[in-house]
Structures are given as structure tokens and as C-alpha cells.
């Protein structure tokens, strides 16, 4: 099972840059919100789901999100 998971990660990461750019373009219309409705980051769905599967609740953990944004600066939305 570990080998299958590692292969799935390799496949998922192979198209990451293209998917991330598509997600960012789709989110452009959502920029400019205020307060709790302000867009902070854009993550493509396969990446989001992979992290959620590997570590349930990861996206609710502020430490995880901070580390993820540091490792993947392209996800942050600059205002």
C-alpha cells in the first residue's frame, strides 16, 4: 500500500503547477473580499484532498497551514 501511495503522490505532483495555475485563475473573481470573506490562499483540489487524507483535519491546523504556505508560496494570495 505504501508503494501505491508513493506512486499516487508522484502522479499528483506531476501536474501540480498546471493545476495550481488553473485554480488561481479561477479564483481571481473571488479576490477583494473583506474580513472573514477575504481570500487567503488557493490550492488545487487534488493537493487539498491528498493532505486531508494523509492527515485528517490538516487544513484546520494553523501550524500545518503556515508550514504549507511556507513550502508552497504560490498558494498565498497577495493583497
The pLDDT tens digits for 29-74 are 777 767 777 788 888 888 899 899 989 999 999 999 999 999 988 8
Whether residue 79 is predicted with pLDDT greater than 70 in this model: the reply is no
Q: What is the pLDDT of residue 69?
A: 92
Delimit the domains of the chain by residue range: 2-75
> What's residue 37's pLDDT?
75
Beta carbons within 8 Å of 55's beta carbon, 6+ residues apart: 61, 64
Question: 3-class SS at 15?
Answer: coil
Predicted local confidence at residue 36, as pLDDT: 74
Amino acid at each position: 500500500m505504501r508503494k501505491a501511495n508513493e506512486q499516487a503522490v508522484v502522479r499528483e505532483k506531476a501536474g501540480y503547477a498546471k493545476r495550481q495555475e488553473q485554480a488561481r485563475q479561477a479564483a481571481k473573481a473571488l479576490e477583494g473580499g473583506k474580513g472573514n470573506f477575504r481570500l487567503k490562499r488557493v490550492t488545487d483540489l487534488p493537493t487539498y484532498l491528498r493532505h486531508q487524507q494523509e492527515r485528517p483535519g490538516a487544513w484546520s491546523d494553523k501550524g500545518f497551514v503556515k508550514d504549507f504556505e511556507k513550502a508552497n508560496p504560490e498558494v498565498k494570495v497577495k493583497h
